[in-house]
Amino acid sequence: MAVFSHPEFDHHETVSWCHDAASGLRALIAVHNTHLGKGLGGCRMWPYRSEAEALTDVLRLSRGMTYKAALAGLPQGGGKSVIIGDPRRDKTPELMRAMGRAVNRLNGAYVVAEDSGTSVADMRLMAQETVHVGGLADEKAIAEGRTGDPSPATAYGTFIGLKAAVRHRLQRDDLRGLKVAIQGVGNVGHRLARHLHEAGAELWVTDLHAPAVERCVREFGATAVPMEAIHALEVDVFAPCALGAVLNDTTIPVLKAPVVAGAANNQLAIADRHGEALRERGILYAPDYCINAGGIIDIYYEGPGYDWAIVEAHLQKIGTTLAEIFERAQREAQPTHRIADRMAEEIFRKR
């Protein structure tokens, strides 16, 4: 399987195929760039349809982490890992420990953390085999009720970014009555829904996991919507919070929301083409790796001396950065993703 000629290969430093026969582990680790620091990134577990699909995902996700860390102002590089398998069916402690050993073989070039399909408990299993694990709370933090789960910070940062996008595109600070369609209400999407509900927004939600939708309907008075219809609703904001490539040739022409602001990674199926298509339609896109940086910000501060006030102050900068992206994009008549890329590259390519 070609790597160097792969369309998503972007001068990645390391791409590792990982296998453990005893546990059944089949995984990939990609380290994109370590100019600013070690390649930090979550471990996603997903029932990919093929190894090629998993390779595409890990290459895109790891590159995004480099750009995410740079725009977030963190001394970290970008990496990511994916495990091929259904997290509800195939996950075992043995498999997680095998993944920890795979991470350890990279000698610290990659630092693993939780992502879709994995949890803090899984990270603790990996930590039995490697010290290169991020986002684990210490004993004092656990006693205070923290687990190291970055989802709350990711959701809060996304909420801050969404407000910045609404302010720029819709010229409003008050979210009361704002209509928001959320695609994916798992750990992050559900918490984003809570923030929006508490701010007075009206919600439409969808998810592959029916109980997650039912929970939002019950707790927030949200309206349940079929997965195939969520992106075409007449709402103010479309918030993708599931998997990537949801902004594509099929969905963009029928989008009615003037703002796209959500926590999913790699939302643009083909970045340059679909970013430009959104701009041409007058839709403001909050670049995903900027708006969803709350998780890696939280992980950076995790450990002894963790102070939520410091973390929250850093999360507020997501809104400031997005405001700069929006203003530059408007001034230069460029899609927002292109401006975000340029700003990130100015940071991590200096070294």
Q: What are the structural domains of the chain? A: 14-136 (3.40.50.10860), 151-348 (3.40.50.720)
15 membership: H or E segment, kind and range: strand 14-20
Contact (CB, 8 A) for 254 and 232: yes
Q: What is the pLDDT of residue 302?
A: 84
- Residues 135, 138, 143, 147, Cα dihedral to 10°: 10
Nearest alpha carbon to residue 239 among 274, 209, 272, 284 = 284
Residue 243: pLDDT band with limits 50, 70, 90? confident
Residue type, 144: E
CA-CA distance, 199 to 241, in Å (whole number)? Answer: 19
> Which is catalytic among the residues 80, 140, 163, 350?
80
Residue 146: pLDDT band with limits 50, 70, 90? low
Token pair of 222 as six digits = 């949200």
Cα three-residue angle 316-200-236, rounded to 5 degrees: 80
Q: Is the pLDDT of residue 171 over 70?
A: yes
pLDDT tens per residue, range 83-93: 999 999 999 99
Token pair of 214 as six digits = 């039912």
Q: Is the pLDDT of residue 142 over 90?
A: no
Q: What is the pLDDT of residue 351?
A: 55
Contact (CB, 8 A) for 113 and 42: yes
Bridge partners, 233 (sequence order):
none
Nearest alpha carbon to residue 27 among 96, 125, 75 = 96
Count Cβ atoms below 10 Å from residue 29 Cβ, excluding itself: 26
pLDDT tens per residue, range 2-34: 899 999 999 999 999 999 999 999 999 999 999
What is the average per-residue pLDDT within 224-233?
97
pLDDT tens per residue, range 281-332: 999 999 999 999 999 999 998 877 889 999 999 999 999 999 999 999 999 9
Nearest alpha carbon to residue 175 among 208, 147, 203 = 203
Residue type, 303: G
Of 60-64, 133-137, 221-225, 227-231, give the lowest mean pLDDT range.
133-137
Q: What is the pLDDT of residue 303?
A: 77
> How does 267-281 read in b/e, with b if 16+ C-beta sit within 10 Å?
bbbebeebbbbbbee
Token pair of 75 as six digits = 């001394």
Residue 192 — φ and ψ, nearest 5°?
Answer: -65, -40
Nearest alpha carbon to residue 127 among 117, 116, 114 = 114
Q: What is the pLDDT of residue 336?
A: 98
What is the average per-residue pLDDT within 23-51?
96
Q: What is the pLDDT of residue 305?
A: 81
Residue type, 123: M
Bridge partners, 181 (sequence order):
204, 238
Burial group, residue 101, by CB count within 10 angstroms (0-12, 13-18, 19+): middle
% of the chain beyond a pLDDT of 90: 88
CA-CA distance, 80 to 42, in Å (whole number)? Answer: 6
310 Cα distance to chain centroid: 21
Look up 256 and say whether it is catalytic: no
Residue 302 — φ and ψ, nearest 5°?
Answer: -65, 145
Task: Say which residue, 142 or 301, is predicted with more confidence.
Answer: 301
Contact (CB, 8 A) for 40 and 1: no
Contacts of 342 (CB under 8 A, 6+ apart): none
- Residues 199, 313, 296, 351, Cα dihedral to 10°: 140
CA-CA distance, 65 to 286, in Å (whole number)? Answer: 16
% of the chain beyond a pLDDT of 70: 96
What is the average per-residue pLDDT within 141-151?
70
Token pair of 19 as six digits = 């296998």
In whole numbers, what is the pLDDT of the chain averaged over residues?
95
User: In angstroms, how far is the first alpha carbon of the chain from the final one?
Assistant: 32
What is the average per-residue pLDDT within 235-251?
95
Residue 1: pLDDT band with limits 50, 70, 90? confident
Residue 138: pLDDT band with limits 50, 70, 90? low
CA distances from 202 to 116, 213, 236, 260 (A): 26, 15, 10, 16
Nearest alpha carbon to residue 261 among 234, 233, 284 = 284
